[in-house]
Amino acid sequence: ESIGTLASGVAHEINNPVQGIMNYAELISESPGASVEIREYASEIDRESQRVATIVRNMLAFSRQEGERGARPTTVQKIIEGALSLIRTVLRKDQIGLSIAIAEGLPELCCRQQQIQQVLMNLVTNARDALNARFSDFDERKRIEIRAESFLREDRTWIRLSVCDQGGGVPDSVVPQIFDPFFTTKGRDQGTGLGLSVSHGIVTEHGGELQLENRPGVGACFDVELPADGSGVEARRREASGGDESEES
Ligand code: ADP
């Protein structure tokens, strides 16, 4: 709970000045008198600030103070649409195909929608990076598959959201580290190493599991498994409030 408060406090404090820095960088690069060199410095400032903004966004997504403390029922369609709305154009530009298969008759999923969307976005972004690293141009295999299905576990209905790619998978030597905060195999411009650790945190907070089905040399599939009734989130909130259910409303 304290870490959540701290993370959201820091994230909000950092967000405003960073936005200011990015605005000024833009003003500099657009000012008529700016030389090529100055413009280059300004775009470097912008790039580095974007990086800070990404880290802050991830911290906010992880912290519980993001405005939606409780879980609410929503549909898997809405979650997937919400996650893709931000990234669809980028995928098209990279010539990455997208296929979405949602099983019929899925129950609603009780969750913090923003957070689960963030998880899907992180997974799709990773799939995209892996595909772009493997295929520079169009390729039949350059596609991301998103699947949603339900299953029973210990008499409860769960929902599994899978994001799969054929971007070569995760090398065996790297697998033990991928969920570590700040672990990345990408260049400084590309990776913060927070995507999977934040996603893992969010899914665990929901009482679910985030798993990797890896085929080194072929591709990776990340499965997000969540109890459909949101009972994981509720249980954790009760723990956090010392078991006092009157604070639940
Ligand atoms: P980042 O994407 O910023 O590097 P992540 O925590 O999201 O941070 O991922 C950590 C590492 O896990 C990546 O740098 C990459 O090596 C590996 N990884 C994650 N997703 C995939 C994927 N779909 N295919 C191959 N490797 C992956």
Q: Which of 62, 129, 180 to mutate to test the pocket of ligand 1 (most atoms within 8 A of CB)?
A: 129
Regarding the beta carbon of 185 and ligand 1, being less than 6 Å apart is answered yes
- Report CA(128)–ligand 1 centroid distance (Å): 10
Taking alpha carbons only, the member of 96, 162, 163 closest to residue 128 is 96
Regarding the beta carbon of 220 and ligand 1, being less than 6 Å apart is answered yes
What pLDDT score was predicted for residue 239?
Answer: 60
Place of tokens 């994001």: 163
* Tens-digit pLDDT profile for residues 104-157: 999 999 999 888 999 999 999 999 999 999 999 999 999 999 999 999 999 999
- CA-to-CA distance for 39 and 36, rounded, in angstroms? 5
Q: Report which protein residue has its CA nearest ligand 1's atom 4.
A: 184
Q: Report which protein residue has its CA nearest ligand 1's atom 20.
A: 126
| pLDDT (mean) for 193-218 | 94
pLDDT band for position 248 (cuts 50, 70, 90):
very low
pLDDT at 68 over 80: no
Beta strands 156-165 and 219-227, pairing class:
antiparallel
- Report CA(62)–ligand 1 centroid distance (Å): 18
Of 54-58, 170-174, 235-239, the least confident: 235-239
What rounded mean pLDDT belongs to the chain?
88
pTM equals 0.80
User: What is each CA distance from 167 to 51, 180, 197, 199, 209, in whole angstroms?
Assistant: 24, 21, 20, 20, 23
pLDDT at 61 over 80: no
